[in-house]
Amino acid sequence: MDGCIRVLAIALVAVFAAWLAQPPALAQVTVKMATLVPKGSDWGLVLQECAAKWNKLSGGKVRVILYPGGTQGDDPDVVRKMNLRILDAAVLTSVGVAEIDRSVYALSVPLMYDNYDEVYAVLEKMRPRLESNLESKGFVVLNWVDGGWMHFFAKKPVATPDDLKKLALFQWAGDPQTLEIWITAGFNPRPGASTELATGLQTGLYEAFTASPQIAVVTGYYEHAKNMTDLNWALILGATVMRKEVWDRIPADIKPALLQAQAEAAQKLQTEIRQSAVRDVQSMKERGLNVVPVDAKALEQWRAIVDTAKAKIRGGFVPADAYDEALKYRDEYRKEKAAKK
């Protein structure tokens, strides 16, 4: 009898030991992702679709919870919350990405690029550097996106730099380098959160801001500043980023499919943004928008302002080495394109 009990005890110990040796069942990874993109907008629907794909492709192992429409604050707030582990991921503009690493601003230098193709040609060359910098600071880039070309929107017509200098210009808070550049160039920037822009325009705190036509329509900001300068100031480049420690918790075998879903979402957004620019300007014009032309003389004045500020842009707004690298790749692209003609 004692022998039977001893055998049974040994068997139970063996079973228990084997159970302990088995890897635990994989827990679900919940990704809390924030964005300024409004819920229900065309852009928002693309993000929701991508979030649903992640859940399906992962077999429920990854669940994305979207916080749209700036409900978690503007980009600097969101980056701070990611650093505090309150949020896990975000679709950020270059302002938000620059909170992590300012090298991204090399793709958003005013009047440095003539079109989308130039920006994306330079981005393709600089991606390894940019993504490595972000990873070294604890973030993984899931895709690169943009929000279209920034224009000045103002309560009064702005055709020249002097026109803009008379107005209170919205500037993202928490970026003293950029603020100093505007002030040194003779403008009147007023820092604040993007989530407060609409109210500030109505109260008179702000009289002008920069945004793409697509963003102006989606947010409705243009309703309080119905003059748009016909000048492609800079492209609003951005990225979807995730805290590396969260990305590392996702099983390696499903990561390629998730990244493919992100690439497809980025392509959809890019196509929608490029196609909607003309349509959105027309829509705003039908609602009272005045498009202010910029002639050759005025364009030279804008370029002169940027040239005057170059010493602060290179090294202040964007790290000097990143600025030089971007300029090199832009010039190489222009030469290659000219040689093909």
Q: How confident is the model at residue 27 (pLDDT cuts 50, 70, 90)?
A: low
pLDDT at 25 over 50: no
* 219 closest CA partner among 208, 230, 211: 211
Express as a percent the part of the chain with pLDDT over 70.
92
- What lies within 8 Å, CB to CB, of 18 at 6+ separation is none
Residue 59 burial by CB count (10 A; 0-12/13-18/19+): exposed, middle or buried?
A: exposed
Query: Mean pLDDT over residues 76-80, rounded?
Result: 95
How far apart are the C-alpha atoms of 58 and 75, rounded to whole Å?
28
Bridge-based pairing of strands 139-154 and 168-172 is unpaired
Cβ atoms of 283 and 217 within 8 Å: the answer is yes
pLDDT at 63 over 50: yes
pLDDT of residue 113: 97
Query: Mean pLDDT over residues 173-189, rounded?
Result: 91
pLDDT of residue 4: 39
pLDDT of residue 195: 85
pLDDT at 18 over 90: no
What CA–CA distances, in Å, run from 251 to 60, 141, 143, 164, 325?
12, 17, 19, 51, 35
Question: Which span out of 5-19, 40-54, 132-146, 270-284 was modeled with the highest average pLDDT?
Answer: 132-146
Interval 305-329: pLDDT, tens: 999 999 999 999 999 999 999 999 9
More confident site: 12 or 95 = 95
Average pLDDT, the chain: 90
pLDDT of residue 5: 39
Interval 241-291: pLDDT, tens: 999 999 999 999 999 999 999 999 999 988 888 888 889 999 999 999 999
Return the beta strands (E) in 207-265 as ranges: 208-211, 227-229, 234-243
Domains and CATH numbers, the chain: 29-340 (3.40.190.170)
pLDDT at 21 over 70: no
pLDDT at 9 over 50: no
How far apart are the C-alpha atoms of 257 and 214, rounded to whole Å?
29
How far apart are the C-alpha atoms of 325 and 125, rounded to whole Å?
9
pLDDT of residue 257: 96
Interval 219-251: pLDDT, tens: 889 999 999 999 999 999 999 999 999 999 999
pLDDT of residue 181: 92
pLDDT at 59 over 80: yes
How far apart are the C-alpha atoms of 152 and 117, rounded to whole Å?
22
Interval 86-137: pLDDT, tens: 999 999 999 999 999 999 999 999 999 999 999 999 999 999 999 999 999 9
Q: What is the 3-state secondary structure (H, E, C) of 33-93?
A: EEECCCCCCHHHHHHHHHHHHHHHHCCCCEEEEEECCCCCCCHHHHHHHHHCCCCCEEEEE
Partners of residue 29 on adjacent β-strands:
62
Residue 300: CB atoms within 10 A of its CB come to: 10
Express as a percent the part of the chain with pLDDT over 90.
78
